[in-house]
Amino acid sequence: MKPIALALTIFLIAPAMHAQEVIKDFGKERLNNSPRHGEWVEIKSGERTIKAFIVYPERKDKAPAVLVVHEIFGVTDWVRSLCDEVAEAGVIAIVPDLLTGQKFEDVDGARKAISALSKEQVKADLDATADYALTKIPSCNGTLAICGFCWGGGVAFGYANENPKLKAVYSFYGNAPDEASKVTNIPCPVYGFYGENDERVNATIPKAEELMKAAGKKYEPVIYKGAGHGFMRLGEPSNPAVREGDKKARDEAWARWKTVLKQL
């Protein structure tokens, strides 16, 4: 198995379970040492109930919220640690478990689980989570944005066309829209974060730029030199196989992201 695949091999354990977790992942140390409050909540999504993980910032006033769309691997320690980092920047972060506790053992299994999700179910779960953030979190000031990573980056960009309440989109190395109808209703700026060595995803950027410009929408894609796909996770200092290009891109992307988060 390739090193990257090995690093991503995880068992996603339902949050209510207390059995020993078998996760080759990173981010747990940050979670264990964080002074911020994080918790799991249950959210009604139609006839279903999904779980979501929330981290609250330490501040005296109400805060905006960011809806986080995870990668194909689900709500890993890394995604939860990223939510903690968003909260450290002063914003409430909430990530729904769109895989509803499914387990998978490898990259192929994760991809298969994600591909089995219907667009309607994903939208319904995101709608339910967005509504929860805006109406059920007393410390939220009514401002909502969305971010996503890899698969989730594409989902976040696409979902912006479905939710008029969003104030910003932060799409990390996810496929961009390829049809005018997919951007017509986007109500807010879209900030893109991409790795230079990720031509599969980057090939979707020019068309999206053309479509967004024609629709009078704001789209700001930035391509980080020397970075590969997944650099926000793979560039983590706690990643034992971290590459310098990914780490540098992650640092630069975080600096940019924190700047635009303050504009919410």
Which candidate in 77, 97, 198, 246 is catalytic? 198
pLDDT at position 104 is 66
The partner residues of 44 in beta bridges, in order of sequence, read 49
What string of H, E and C letters represents the secondary structure of the chain?
Answer: CCHHHHHHCECCCCCCCCCCCCECCCCHHHHHHCCCCEEEEEEEECCEEEEEEEECCCCCCCEEEEEEECCCCCCCHHHHHHHHHHHHCCCEEEEECCCCCCCCCCHHHHHHHHHCCCHHHHHHHHHHHHHHHHHCCCCEEEEEEEEEECHHHHHHHHHCCCCCCEEEEEEECCCCCCCHHHCCCCCCCEEEEEEEECHHHHCCHHHHHHHHHHCCCCEEEEEEEEEECCHHHHCCCCCCCCCHHHHHHHHHHHHHHHHHHCCC
pLDDT at position 103 is 67
pLDDT averaged per 10 residues, the chain (length 264): 38 32 67 97 96 98 98 93 98 97 78 95 98 98 98 98 98 98 98 98 98 98 98 92 96 98 97
Which candidate in 150, 178, 188, 251 is catalytic? 150
Residue 14 domain flag: no
Q: Is 150 a catalytic residue?
A: yes
Cα–Cα distance measured from residue 133 to residue 33, given in angstroms and rounded to the nearest whole number: 25
Residue 92 domain flag: yes
CA 72-74-80 angle, to 5 degrees, is 130
Q: Is 106 a catalytic residue?
A: no
Cα–Cα distance measured from residue 231 to residue 195, given in angstroms and rounded to the nearest whole number: 7
Quote the domain boundaries for residue 212. 3-9+19-261
170's tokens: 């932060």
Residue 229 domain flag: yes
Number of domains in the chain: 1
Which residue, among 220, 217, 225, has the nearest Cα to 192 in the 3D structure?
220
pLDDT at position 7 is 39
Q: Do 169 and 193 contact (CB within 8 A), yes or no? A: no
Cα–Cα distance measured from residue 98 to residue 206, given in angstroms and rounded to the nearest whole number: 29
pLDDT at position 137 is 98
Report pTM.
0.90
Cα 100 to the center of its chain, rounded Å? 16
Which candidate in 84, 147, 229, 246 is catalytic? 229
Q: Is 37 a catalytic residue?
A: no
Question: What CATH number has the domain bearing residue 216?
Answer: 3.40.50.1820
